[in-house]
Structure 1
Amino acid sequence: MCLILNAIILIFISSVSASVPRTDVTVSGISSGGAMATQLRIGFSKDISGCGILAGPPYYCSASGLTTAVRMTGPTSFIFVSNLESKVKYDASNDYIDDRSNIAGDPVYIFSGKYDKIAYPAVVKLDADLYTRLNATVKTNFDTSAHYGFLTGNFGATYISLNLANYINN
């Protein structure tokens, strides 16, 4: 009796979950949070449908024994997007991460302030290059006069100087 009841419950749950529309989950972050966002987005591409990266480095950003500081501030001549893409393929083929095909068509927003000297725009642009290769719908903003931090319309330091107090740009 218990076995039959469990089977009925399982069938019911399966039919309900099959008819429930997908709930879109996105992830965003700034700096190391941007790194986290892209790691999560690529790693859990079946469950996460998009991401926003603000001043964050690309997937597998701390690889090859290079320090995070070098990865964030360049030079980008040591970082090849083809290697990052190969790492995504390798990780997916070994079931370390979800299949990269889940990323195709999903939205990705990438921002880096034009005057950022903490997370250089050239490093952040690698995100755009990688997501483009993964066929995501990529929107970028690398032209805004801003330093490292969040943008506001009425609070924080001017874009000319780095606001070390709270990393907010007016």
Structure 2
Amino acid sequence: MALAATLGGCSEQPAADLPALEAQRDATSVSGISSGAYMAGQFEMAHAKDVVGAAIIAGGPYGCSESLYADVIPGPGTALLNLTKAINGCMLNALQAFGVPNPALLAERAERLAEHNRIDPIADVKADRIYLFTGKNDTTVVPAIVDAARKFYEDIGVPASQILYVSDIPAGHAFVTADRGPECDHTGKPYIVDCNYDQAGALLGQIYGSLSAPAEQMTGQFQVFDQDAFTEGLSNHGLSDDGLVYVPQACQTNAGCRVHIAFHGCGQNRTFVGDAFARDSGYARWADTNNLIVLFPQTAATPLNPQGCWDWWGYTGPDYLTRDAPQITAVYRMLERLSAPRTSS
């Protein structure tokens, strides 16, 4: 199908169907900031057979918020305990009673989930290339939490040579760019800051290796698409009606493009910041010259989740860490659509 929306006007276009573009599904990568960082890690673990790398920006290890009491207090109580730990133990690294991140125990839990086929085999994660980032001025998710993410990956067997950990940039709690957004140490909407550092290029380069230079003038197009088509049968999924995708011109006609899934942070979906995360992050410029389709799935703000965070503590249900999680299921369906054979229009 033709993609009609342009960069500047994508928020004004009606939602279309997400196109089938014959993408290379087993070369998918993920990234995210804050709650999106946790979701990127969860998606990577759930679908490791298809994911070749992950970028965790201001986020911690897989399963970090799972309370010690989660297995004995069923139902909504578990999510409340997890949320307490998420805020105090997986952002501030402060709540001893609920257990600060223990990467070794989290690695053991991941192994058990894999053994029970709730997530893909851990062996498939060991080949991944990992990018980790913490800003020196980030007081929302403190550096010790990202340190724990690095230790988690090492504990599950990812070689240190495959992990790039960037911790020397004076950023606040934000996605970092070379020339977009307010000053580097700023924390606040749209959570995009200018640190004279091209984070999108750095993380994509870490995952995929040498890349062509980013486009000066982009030839591809943004498209608002109907996310409801991917939530059928999923209750309490917490997703918006619409998502966003960037498709380079070459990928509109050629098969074999790779897909990068970029998960926004809390307070950073299109309701809160418009298209700033997609427009100013820099992903699209790199995608345009490297045959990368960039998927920007979107959450919805709700009374129980007013900042539109991705589910990394269980508000969608107890399966939130697994392949059966409503949000992971929906986003994987989007990936399946992008990698499906084209149909004649």
Q: Is the 2:58–2:133 contact (alpha carbons within 8 Å) kept by the matching residues of 1?
A: yes
Equivalent runs, 1:56-135 vs 2, <5 Å: 56-64=59-67, 65-66=81-82, 67=84, 68-70=86-88, 71-75=90-94, 78-135=100-157
Deviation at 1:75, TM superposition (A): 2.8
Q: Is the 2:60–2:146 contact (alpha carbons within 8 Å) kept by the matching residues of 1?
A: yes
User: Which residue of the partner structure matches residue 193 of structure 2?
Assistant: 169
Deviation sequence 1:48-104 (CA, Å, 0-9, x none) = 111111111210122013422112121386221111111111111111111101111
3-state SS, counterpart of residue 147 of structure 2: helix
CA distance in 1, matches of 2:157, 2:101: 20
Q: Is the 2:25–2:50 contact (alpha carbons within 8 Å) kept by the matching residues of 1?
A: no
Structure 1 runs (4+) deviating above 4 angstroms are none
Deviation at 1:153, TM superposition (A): 2.2
Task: Give 1:116's aligned amino acid.
Answer: D
CA distance in 1, matches of 2:173, 2:133: 10
Task: Note if 1:30 corresponds to 2:33.
Answer: yes
Q: Which moved more, 1:153-162 or 1:104-113?
A: 153-162
**Comparing both structures, which one devotes a greater share of its residues to helix?**
1
User: Which residue of the partner structure matches residue 287 of structure 2?
Assistant: none
Deviation at 1:138, TM superposition (A): 1.1
User: Which residue of the partner structure matches residue 262 of structure 2?
Assistant: none
CA distance in 2, matches of 1:113, 1:89: 30
CA distance in 2, matches of 1:103, 1:127: 14
Deviation sequence 1:110-166 (CA, Å, 0-9, x none) = 11111101111111121111111222221110111111101122232223342x231
CA distance in 1, matches of 2:52, 2:164: 15
RMSD: 1.8
Equivalent in 146, 154, 164 of residue 179 of structure 2: 154
Task: Give 1:132's aligned amino acid.
Answer: E
Task: Note if 1:44 corresponds to 2:63.
Answer: no
TM-score (norm 2): 0.41
Deviation at 1:22, TM superposition (A): 7.3
Task: Give 1:34's aligned amino acid.
Answer: A
Q: Is the 2:133–2:166 contact (alpha carbons within 8 Å) kept by the matching residues of 1?
A: yes
Deviation sequence 1:17-45 (CA, Å, 0-9, x none) = xxxx8741111111111000000111211
Equivalent in 138, 144, 162 of residue 169 of structure 2: 144
Paired-residue identity, % = 30
CA distance in 2, matches of 1:165, 1:158: 12
Task: Give 1:55's aligned amino acid.
Answer: A
CA distance in 2, matches of 1:90, 1:59: 13
* Structure with larger RCO (C-alpha < 8 A, sep 6+): 2
Q: Which runs of 5+ in 2 are unaligned?
A: 1-23, 68-80, 195-345
TM-score (norm 1): 0.80
Count of paired positions: 149
Q: Is the 2:51–2:128 contact (alpha carbons within 8 Å) kept by the matching residues of 1?
A: no
